[in-house]
A and B are shown apart, each in its own frame.
Chain A
Amino acid sequence: MATLTTTLAVDEIGFPARAEAGGGEVRDYLALLKPRVMVLVVFTALVGMLVPHAAANPVIAGASLLMIAIGAGASGCLNMWWDADIDAVMSRTRTRPIPAGRIAPDSALAFGLTLSIGSVLALGLIANWLASGLLAFTIVFYAVLYSMGLKRRTDQNIVIGGLAGALPPVVAEAAVTGSVGVAGLTLCLIIFLWTPPHFWALALVKSEDYARAGIPMMPNVRGPDATRTHILVYSLIVVPVALLPVPLGFGGLLYAIVAGVLGLAMLALAVKVYRVRVGDEASRVAMQLFGFSILYLFAIFAALLAEHGLGLFRSVPGLL
């Protein structure tokens, strides 16, 4: 039924419901997995594996990481299958394989489902069934709850949907420890709270695109001013929350410095976005925050990676 709905929607906006016989290139199928998102997933999951200092076999850990990456890619593929109609009308996404007619929607669906089921089963066999269940939950949450449910219905779409992108460290921790701990949940909370200001900064600039596609992003529903307030509030929450690893004992001196300094810079940019509201300068500042937020998340996770993967952990003076 979902296939029929999508196919009809796709036909209405004019790209071929079935790609030409012979199908797409291998790189088109790889593009369906959203490789840049996969890189971020692998990175955050790797940190989620290293922080608990579990005595995991590197082969098991590496294979688990691969399955988490494939599961994330599969959910991205299912998302592209479902969203092909709106991807076709947005400038940022219209060259994706399905709206461009290089891959048939049915082929993308089969590819996404095969990888989803395969990665979940393989993670269960390789690591444990808790990690496998969490990966399945992540895929279903992103592909079904976010893509098919929330995205087109509420301006809180990316707030709730952000949980899917935040879960990989928890899945990874479960894969190497067999349980869910404070470290994984804290990393999950940081990504969860980071997602809204990150995406809303982009949505401020691309609001016409989202409006054309009929997606109720915050700037289209509540207006850019309310969005700027939300960005500031979430930034004010995420920056101190990102310092939690320090008192919790798994963030050291390097982490405290990186999260502290870059957190202040993130706040300064959020304030700038809040204050500069008109003209090209407003768009420029919003894109600046969008770009910086990626650097911010990358840097704080890289600091944890350096501390726990390279042995650079030093306790913050004054803390046990």
Chain B
Amino acid sequence: MDPTPPLLTPEQARRRRMRSLAIALALGFMVLLFYAVTIAKLGPQVLNRPL
């Protein structure tokens, strides 16, 4: 097994960085979306309970 990974050109490395950034943003957005959906599904009544 070759221990050294193939080197990327600066352009290829830039593309990979941009793809990684896009995936990170998409995942972050999904987290926020599912949080908002969860709150919407629970509804305001979730706060109306005895402490």
Contacts and interface: CB of A to CB of B under 8 A. Distances in A.
Interface of A: 20-26, 29, 57, 59-60, 63, 66, 125-126
B12 A21 contact: yes
B36 interface: yes
A109 B38 CA distance: 31
Given A21-B6, A22-B8, A26-B22, A126 B37 contact: yes
B31 interface: no
B18 to A, nearest CB: 5
A25 B18 CA distance: 7
Nearest to B30: A122
A29 B37 contact: no
Interface residues of B, number: 17
Contacts of A125: 37
Contacts of B18: 25-26
Given A125-B37, A126-B37, 14 more contacts: A21-B6, A22-B9, A22-B12, A22-B16, A23-B15, A23-B16, A24-B15, A26-B22, A29-B19, A57-B41, A59-B36, A60-B37, A60-B41, A66-B33
Contacts of A24: 15
A119 to B, nearest CB: 11
Contacts, number: 38
Contacts of A26: 18-19, 22
Nearest to B41: A60
Given A29-B19, A66-B33, A22 B11 contact: yes
A63 B16 contact: no
Sorted from nearest, which 10 A-B pairs have the closest CB atoms? A22-B12, A59-B40, A26-B22, A57-B40, A63-B37, A126-B37, A59-B36, A26-B18, A22-B8, A22-B15
B22 A63 contact: no
Nearest to A59: B40
Contacts of B6: 21
Contacts of B37: 59-60, 63, 125-126
Contacts of B9: 22
A59 B18 CA distance: 29
Contacts of A22: 8-9, 11-13, 15-16
Nearest to A126: B37
A63 B39 CA distance: 13
A61 B35 CA distance: 15
Contacts of A20: 12
Interface in B21-39: 22, 33, 36-37, 39
A25 B15 contact: yes
Nearest to B13: A22
Contacts of B40: 57, 59-60
Interface-centre pick from B6, B18, B19, B39 (highest chain A CB count, 10 A): B19
Contacts of A63: 33, 36-37
A126 to B, nearest CB: 5
A25 B19 CA distance: 7
A126 B37 CA distance: 7
25 contacts: A20-B12, A21-B12, A22-B8, A22-B9, A22-B12, A22-B13, A22-B15, A23-B12, A23-B15, A23-B16, A24-B15, A25-B18, A26-B18, A26-B19, A29-B19, A29-B22, A57-B40, A57-B41, A59-B36, A59-B37, A59-B40, A60-B40, A63-B37, A66-B33, A125-B37
